[in-house]
Structure 1
Amino acid sequence: IAEEIGRLAISEGWESFIAYGRGEPSSESNLIKIGGKESMYINALKARLFDNEGLNAKADTERLIKEIDRIKPDIVHLHNIHGYYLHYPTLFNYLKDKNLPTVWTLHDCWTFTGHCSHFELVGCEKWKSGCHGCPQLKEYPKSFGFDGSERNYWLKKEYFTSLQRLTLVPVSEWLGNLLSSSFFGQKDRIVIRNGIDTDIFNLNTSQAETRLRMGCQPTRHLILGVASVWTKRKGFHDFIKLRNLLSEDEFEIMMIGLTKKQIDELPQGIKGICRTNDIHEMAEIYSAADVFVNPTYEDTFPTTNLEALACGTPVVTYNTGGSPEAIDSETGAVVEQGNVRQLKDAVIQICQADGDSYRQKCRARAVSLFDKRDRYQDYLRLYDNILSGK
């Protein structure tokens, strides 16, 4: 997202710098590397031992501050700052001292909890008043046992709310509503949803050919599930249950993103694929499906829903996080979290309906609401409004 916003900003006369902590990306923006692989591993180990993600990498962050001071930006745009490469007290002290306008896109809940990036699955609400006794120390960012959640919560509140010129950008209404109940309650915020490339993710008329190439039967309804990693939180076991509730003669399930071990353990009637790195092939698969099922238990605003819609495929999802915001009653269905029978009923209802009508309405919704060019333009408008004092 940062790269593509930077590219758009450059095209409109801005100068763009991107500071990053991992990998070796190529970019049209000016790149600033924060630390290195060795320091990242050391910071990760410290976080595992002391549950202090974001409180390491002080020297690396001080070097970053010198670069920012040299650049003298008009605006600073933060994304995920967790990832074992940044010391947030140093960064936020600098932003506060310089009174720099700061935009912060929030992709998860880490910013206002004492440890976790998501808490829906365990139903924890300690983040509303003050974290302690964290029930998710084994979840990202994993701790080996030391619980620093109380300290982390109050430090985040102190530093993150210290900026007078901070605008928060949650990527879903759901996340924005959570911010109202967090220590960010009084801070300015505007929802800008994620976007996708609606030229690549597009309607494909060769559904039958794609299904044959993937080893699926063109005469059966195809149900698709996609995840980068399939876990309980992403609904892996719910797909197994769904398979048992649907006729094998009428329905076929394909899951993409599985490990080899998971594929070996799949029941009959589910075709598993490790992954595809070809984005065009992924678009063809979305378009070949009759329905995309996303039984997620924790999500902020999954782009897989948007990709499916852009390819003309209706979405069935649990009422989880911001996932339902991708669709309306004409482009899919939202069912009770964990209710696989409702999931089954929604799948059957969609498969029995007019497929062409669904395809056109799904495509129209994706293009009108989730085209990445429009959403990134929202950020440039936000920058202009902030700098003009609106």
Structure 2
Amino acid sequence: MANRVFVIGVGMTKFEKPGRREGWDYPEMAQEAGSKAIEDAGIDYDEIDQAFVGYVYGESTSGQRALYELGMTGIPVVNVNNNCSTGSTALYLAAQSIRGGLAECALALGFEKMQPGSLGSTFNDRAQPMENHFLALAEISEVLFPPAPWMFGAAGREHMKEYGSTAEHFAKIGYKNHRHSVNNPYAQFQEEYSLEDILAAPMIYDPLTKLQCSPTSDGSGAAILASEAFVDRHGLAGQAVEIVGQAMTTDFTNTFDGTCKALIGHHMNVEAARRVYDQAGLGPDDFQVIELHDCFSANELLLYEALGLCGEGEAHKLVDSGDTTYGGRWVVNPSGGLISKGHPLGATGLAQCAELTWQLRGTADKRQVSDVTAALQHNIGLGGAAVVTAYQRAER
């Protein structure tokens, strides 16, 4: 029988515009987030059996260099790179180590030190991992570079054409997430914009304006996971949050089914969510708070359908009804999401974990959602991997 897995400590840095904090390199970021997680858990670093460290842009064994700021105890350190889902992949691997009885306490840590501007390839003398996706999308959509807003913007246009969503629906998601981030001291942006501001911002790829796109960011996040025996031995049940369902999927053959939404991970998302609901014995209506991968507002809207919050073609109706903010059926991205909190690729999934842990503990301050009993996390990296995780308070 698989062991139960609990989050016992979380920590993160403030997410910043690249280069904004002088002398703030990835070891300092990791030290800050990791130390906060250890302090939150109330344990010593030498009680950690294994570590999984995620980053996208960096040299080999940067994970070791980062963790050595916390201690050098000889434990296995696995470096993880899975595009924008890197942080949640590290979380997934740490949970596997606990679930399989290979460790009693494991650390998942992610960081990113990014270059300003749009994402681009690092190595141009070899096959690109997304080249098949790009070629398939070019057959059905107007091509624009940089590729990320093109891919997600094309999927947004597809939804508009098929189901009648409008540019204003996407803008309302950007408006919501910027408004949420005002109450998040960790967010890169903490300014509220009017809907008119969102719509009037520079156009990146119609219908996506700049204020509907996640920025490049520097920052780090961390989570400490433990077994039930470890939690009991250390008296941590009062702060522990249980991972009651978790799944990772990669591309299926139907990624290339001729639709834009498939190329940005729709089928991966649907299947990962289905597996998590089956594992947890929960459905979409059982969650009160959700952190999902809103790299662009179009992706958040499409995820409402992929995660089963509504039927196919109905996502924009959730926007119109206010069902995804405070006072609605769910609060989606109370942290501000990637659009406003920021998106340091290796840290994003762990920042989502931290936010949901705080929400379940009831310690999210002005962002706190009422009566949270279950929380859902979604993180995706194209090329591709989707990770979905369900959480509940340990006392349940």
- Which of 1 and 2 has higher RCO (CA within 8 Å, sep 6+)? 2
Alignment TM class, shorter chain as reference: under 0.3
Q: Which has the higher strand share?
A: 2
- TM-score if structure 2 supplies the norm length? 0.27
Computing the radius of gyration over CA atoms, which structure comes out larger, 1 or 2?
1
- TM-score if structure 1 supplies the norm length? 0.27
